[in-house]
Amino acid sequence: MSKQGDRVPSFTALEQAADFLDAHPDYKVLRRLRHVDWLYNGPTEGETRVGVAVDVETTGLDHEADRIIELAVQRFRFDALGRVTQIGKARLWREDPSIPIDPHITQLTGLTAQDVLGQSIDVNAAVEILKSADIIIAHNAAFDRPFVDRRLPAIGGKPWACSMAELDWLGLGFDGRALGHLVSQCGWFYEGHRAENDVLALIYLLAHTSQDGETILAKLRAASEQPTFRINAVDAPFDAKDSLKAKGYRWDATMRFWWKTISQPDLDAETQWLRRDIYLERGMPAVFPQSACERYSR
């Protein structure tokens, strides 16, 4: 219990104490994420571009049946080396889905039906921000993009990147791929599973400098520019579903087939595995090249 007259330590004093602890190998200090106007303020390299970090909270996982209940977008500007030179204000909208919100979703996000009652996304504002992007980034774009494309079809065709799927996090010295876990390994913490917090955490993660001196954003941009291929396992046998799921394939409930996005170096091995182990040499998957503009779309 503090005594009368005790003073709260200043921010500078707390930072000094945190630095002192962090310098010892037996301690690791986590700092709370806070909004700042930039994460790099030195000389810029090349032309700066605009990125938009996106996150959605939804009533469930089904892109056709479920609905967005919270959408957050946050613009940022970056230079040719992937350094974040300016961060805009996060914009957050809630939306009444007109369907029940499962108690598990409320437990996960903290959002109840009362929190979103009668609310809706400002479509014009959201579209204006997303259309201004040179690249849209989500930490699970295969989940977020279909919801966003369906709700805001006017932004269709913009390039997307996925910070979760497109980077070799283990090779970069991290373990795991969850956003909160990655951010904590960079020395930060925040309250997750709320869209507004998640987009800021994503920007901090993108601005992080990896062990080789490159930012995570620079690595993600390079990865997103590489060609990938969408493999549709059309007419795959029903009893192959567990094998496909184990290999990372997703079920398209509308088109009724399993699919996966894969990089060019892995394409031959993947198609050979499908022909041999799934189709048993009696069929072929459908393979389509993808750019960042098509990737993760339905």
Please give the distance of CA 275 from its chain centroid, rounded to a whole number. 32
Residues 6+ apart with CB under 8 A from 216: 82, 163, 167, 172, 205, 206, 207, 208, 209, 210
Count CA within 13 A, CB hemisphere, residue 126.
23
The pLDDT of residue 4 is above 60: no
- For residue 203, what is the domain's CATH number? 3.30.420.10
7 located within any domain: no
Q: Which of 176, 204, 224 is the last residue of a domain?
A: 224
User: What's the mean per-residue pLDDT of the chain?
Assistant: 94
Where does the pLDDT of residue 2 fall: very low under 50, low under 70, confident under 90, or very high at 90 and above? very low
Cα 261 to Cα 271: distance, rounded to the nearest angstrom? 12
The range of the structural domain enclosing residue 100 comes to 31-224
CB 74 within 8 A of CB 52: yes
Q: Where are the alpha helices (DSSP H) in the chain?
A: 11-22, 103-109, 113-116, 123-131, 141-151, 179-185, 195-207, 216-224, 241-246, 264-273
CB 95 within 8 A of CB 119: yes
Same structural domain, 155 and 259? no
Cα 285 to Cα 193: distance, rounded to the nearest angstrom? 36
12 located within any domain: no
Same structural domain, 51 and 138? yes
Where does the pLDDT of residue 169 fall: very low under 50, low under 70, confident under 90, or very high at 90 and above? very high
Cα 210 to Cα 212: distance, rounded to the nearest angstrom? 6
67 located within any domain: yes
